[in-house]
Amino acid sequence: MKRRFLPAAMCPLHFHGDGLPRTKPIQSKQSVHFPAGRVIDLPPMNPFNDRAFSSLPCARCRFGALLAAILLTHLALAADGFRIADVNEKSLGLWEGDKPVLVYNHGVIASPPGVPADQARSSYVHPIYGLDGEVLTDDFPEDHYHHRGLFWSWPHVQVGGQHHDLWMLKGIRHQFEKWLDRKADKTAAVLGVENGWYVGTNKVMRERIRLRVYPAAADSRAMDVDCEWTPVGQPITLTGAEGKSYGGIALRFAPGTNTAITISSGLTGKDLPMTNLPWADLTRHWTSGKTTSGAALFVHPSHPDFPPQWLTRHYGLLSVGWPGVKPATFQPDQPTSCRYRVWIHRGSATAAQLEQAYEAFKAPEKAVPARDK
């Protein structure tokens, strides 16, 4: 018996959508369309795309089986904890179930229109999402084009007698080299990456970053950030910004209002340059998500020169300044490790609640507590 296929225009099944965008918090929908016009919208599922479905046969006799397979696969993936998938050739996305968590940009992200071309960057995390899908981070903000989500850079990098600025993207750059880990299940997701710092074609630093993301609790999520830097071939001297201390890991927040910065002593209404802190939190009402939430940056007690200097800005920046305003020289082939945690929370958090979460970070066996009401 000869098999009969429907013309493409009459195909009763269409499935479309490409998952998370690269830089903007817009989630495309994927829809199953029935002949009568009924539509079932599904959350973004990046492994599926138009190209894959265009190769499937359109026989009516297979429609039911194909639809069932799609729906069952969707449900299985959504219920199976974390999921990692390419957003595009430059960015890797992480979801928990059908909820976006973050995007790691390993490729070079070009400057958007109106921004100087030399502000292209790579090797940073953006967007980071809150528990209700709100975007917490910013990229290419108008007041500081060089700020980029969760990133790690220094304004003064001395190597081979030459000065470079990794913070402002001048004369030195991050470059992706290889993945170390890409694991995801119900207990955690781990992204490990090795990058190089390059001056021209000369690699001057080996950088290893490992992100470990834990499942969301009722009102919080923890993400550990382990960093290791090893100079290659010659010493490197790092220094923070004069009078401010920024240089190291930093978190640039998305636009919002009612900004509150909390440190261990409580709310602070002033920006804090060159201030030694174990942690700081920024909470605001997000312009895009119309909700209030925040994120804290914790520094582990094993960190060199603990507690390090910080710079906090109410416009939306938490920045650990290490080694701070005094230069520190790092010898070739000798790794330096630093450990941090980003603790995301729904609504506002008191200093006591933040301190409790920080204590859990210090005790690995209590890695991911829910916040007390």
What residue type is 266 in one-letter code?
A: G
Could you give the CA distance from residue 362 to residue 349 in angstroms, rounded to a whole number? 19
Of 157, 81, 84, 149, the closest CA to residue 121 belongs to 149
Domains of the chain: 10-78 (no CATH), 82-366 (2.70.98)
The whole-model pTM stands at 0.79
Selection from 315, 164, 206, 188 nearest residue 250 by Cα = 315
Cis amide linkage into residue 127, ω under 30° from 0:
yes
- Look at residue 22 in the predicted model and tell me its pLDDT: 35
From CA 317, how far away is CA 250, in angstroms rounded?
A: 7
pLDDT (tens, 9 = 90+) of the chain, 373 residues, equals 444 333 433 334 433 333 343 333 334 334 333 333 333 333 444 433 444 444 445 554 455 555 555 555 554 454 569 999 999 999 999 999 999 999 999 999 999 999 999 999 999 999 999 999 999 999 999 999 999 999 999 999 999 999 999 999 999 999 999 999 999 999 999 999 999 999 999 999 999 999 999 999 999 999 999 999 999 999 999 999 999 999 999 999 999 999 999 999 999 999 999 999 999 999 999 988 789 999 999 999 999 999 999 999 999 999 999 999 999 999 999 999 999 999 999 999 999 999 999 999 998 654 444 444 3
What confidence score (pLDDT) does residue 26 get?
Answer: 35
Task: Determine the pLDDT at residue 286.
Answer: 95
Q: What gap in Å lies between CA 98 and CA 81, rounded to an integer?
A: 9
pLDDT at 289: 74
Judge whether 322 and 240 are in contact, CB under 8 Å: yes
User: How much is the pLDDT for 39?
Assistant: 36
pLDDT of residue 290: 84
Per-residue pLDDT, 288:
82
Round to whole Å and give the CA distance between 60 and 10: 10
